[in-house]
């Protein structure tokens, strides 16, 4: 029954290979293209994203439409944003009959998601789903999190180690600026691990699906966001250095060694402490302490 249900879908490996050959499609390394060939993965993504019949979904990088088919069956409407022009005629065929899908041949980093929310979802929050290219994962995530568009959830497949960084806590090897940025804007949870054999071509690394519930407002609205992330980036710029040395040597931060040490002392922290041990709340407190007269 399971195999019959997926026989005509692109998640069936033979259908993917047939489609690629039919169009003479060549994978573009610059776009980091890897197509899913395991039906359990798109099903898990749709389930983890909590997509229902009232939802408007933005899919980043639909490829040949493998995940799009599952999204279309679950959502009210799907807006699929694909940068690779050679995939557009393929999508027109593979998504024929999926009447609630709109394909945009655009770069997601230049796409007006706020306008999509207004025009397709009455200005309400979108659900974003993607199999993200590894090389551009962080810029896309930060654009989604920091942008003006209303986004309720983000469910993305990324390199496994990047997913680990996104939900890492203080004192762990994966903890860093990306961890803090994600946690500032959302709560994160890894919902599935995806081995390389679930893709064609097979990538060199394992992947993971991570689900982000976006906050209505940032976790710490009482801190200057720009200064906070300048402090965080400087703290992790040279992980082996103490926080004092990392901050005093950072371009764009005007604080002396004495001012930094004094701020840490007021927080009850040693001047030999490293940035990787501070929580998001402590970074916010440090940022405010540094600017105290």
Residue 140, both tokens: 């896309």
Task: Over range 114-129, report the average pLDDT.
Answer: 97
Q: How many residues does the chain have?
A: 293
Tens digits of residue pLDDT in 28-46? 777 788 899 999 999 999 9
Domain boundary among 214, 240, 263: 214
Domain boundary among 214, 239, 262: 214
Tell me the C-alpha distance between 158 and 130, whole Å.
9
Q: Are 19 and 75 in contact (CB under 8 A)?
A: no
| pLDDT of residue 93 exceeding 60 | yes
| pLDDT of residue 1 exceeding 80 | no
Confidence grade of residue 7 (pLDDT, cut at 50, 70, 90): low
Residue 94 lies in a domain: yes
199 forms bridges with which residues in the sheet?
36
- Percent of residues, the chain, with pLDDT higher than 90: 73
Confidence grade of residue 158 (pLDDT, cut at 50, 70, 90): very high
Confidence grade of residue 4 (pLDDT, cut at 50, 70, 90): very low
The pLDDT of residue 28 = 78
Residue 179, both tokens: 């961890």
Tell me the C-alpha distance between 226 and 224, whole Å.
6
| Nearest alpha carbon to residue 144 among 119, 96, 111 | 111
Tell me the C-alpha distance between 6 and 4, whole Å.
5
| Nearest alpha carbon to residue 60 among 130, 127, 107, 126 | 130
The pLDDT of residue 72 = 97
Residue 220 lies in a domain: no
The pLDDT of residue 12 = 86
Confidence grade of residue 133 (pLDDT, cut at 50, 70, 90): confident
Tens digits of residue pLDDT in 236-274? 887 778 899 889 888 888 999 999 999 999 999 998 999
Task: Over range 48-71, report the average pLDDT.
Answer: 96
Range of the domain at 279: 225-290
Give the gyration radius of the chain's Cα atoms.
22
Indicate if 26 and 151 belong to the same structural domain.
yes
CATH number at residue 187: 3.40.50.150
CA 129 to chain centre: 9
Indicate if 86 and 18 belong to the same structural domain.
yes
Tell me the C-alpha distance between 153 and 159, whole Å.
19
Task: Over range 195-217, report the average pLDDT.
Answer: 93
Domain boundary among 214, 245, 279: 214
Residue 102 lies in a domain: yes
Confidence grade of residue 151 (pLDDT, cut at 50, 70, 90): very high
Indicate if 27 and 95 belong to the same structural domain.
yes
Q: What is the DSSP letter of 125?
A: P
Task: Over range 153-158, report the average pLDDT.
Answer: 97
Indicate if 49 and 187 belong to the same structural domain.
yes
| pLDDT of residue 3 exceeding 60 | no
> Which residues, in sequence order, are CB contacts of 219 under 8 Å at separation 6+?
183, 184, 185, 280
Indicate if 136 and 231 belong to the same structural domain.
no
Q: Are 180 and 280 in contact (CB under 8 A)?
A: yes
Higher pLDDT, 232 or 4: 232
The pLDDT of residue 58 = 98
Question: How high is the mean pLDDT of the chain?
Answer: 91
Angle between helices 225-237 and 177-185 (to 10 degrees): 160
pTM equals 0.90
């Amino acid at each position: 029954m399971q195999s019959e249900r997926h026989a005509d879908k692109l998640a069936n490996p033979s259908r993917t290979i047939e489609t690629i050959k039919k169009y003479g499609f060549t994978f573009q390394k610059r776009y980091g293209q890897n197509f899913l060939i395991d039906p359990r993965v798109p099903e898990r993504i749709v389930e983890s994203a909590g997509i229902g019949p009232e939802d408007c979904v933005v899919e980043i990088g639909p490829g040949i439409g493998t995940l799009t088919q599952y999204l279309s069956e679950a959502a009210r409407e799907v807006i699929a944003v694909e940068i690779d022009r050679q995939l557009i005629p393929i999508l027109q065929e593979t998504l024929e009959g999926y009447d609630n899908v709109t394909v945009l041949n655009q770069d997601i980093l230049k796409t007006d998601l706020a306008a999509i929310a207004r025009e397709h979802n009455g200005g309400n929050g979108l659900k974003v789903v993607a199999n993200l290219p590894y090389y551009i994962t962080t810029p896309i995530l930060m654009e989604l999190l920091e942008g003006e568009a209303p986004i309720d959830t983000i469910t993305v497949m990324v390199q496994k180690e990047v997913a680990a960084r996104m939900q890492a806590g203080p004192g762990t090897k994966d903890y860093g600026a990306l961890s803090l940025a994600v946690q500032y804007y959302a709560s994160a949870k890894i919902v599935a691990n995806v081995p390389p054999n679930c893709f064609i071509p097979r990538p060199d690394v394992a992947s993971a699906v991570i689900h982000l519930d976006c906050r209505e407002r940032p976790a710490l609205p009482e801190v200057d966001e720009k200064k906070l992330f300048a402090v965080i980036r400087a703290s992790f710029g040279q992980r082996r250095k103490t926080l004092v040395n990392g901050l005093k040597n950072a371009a764009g931060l005007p604080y002396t060694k004495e001012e930094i040490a004094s701020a840490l002392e007021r927080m009850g922290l040693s001047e030999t402490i490293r940035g990787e041990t501070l929580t998001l709340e402590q970074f916010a407190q440090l940022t405010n302490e540094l600017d105290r007269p």
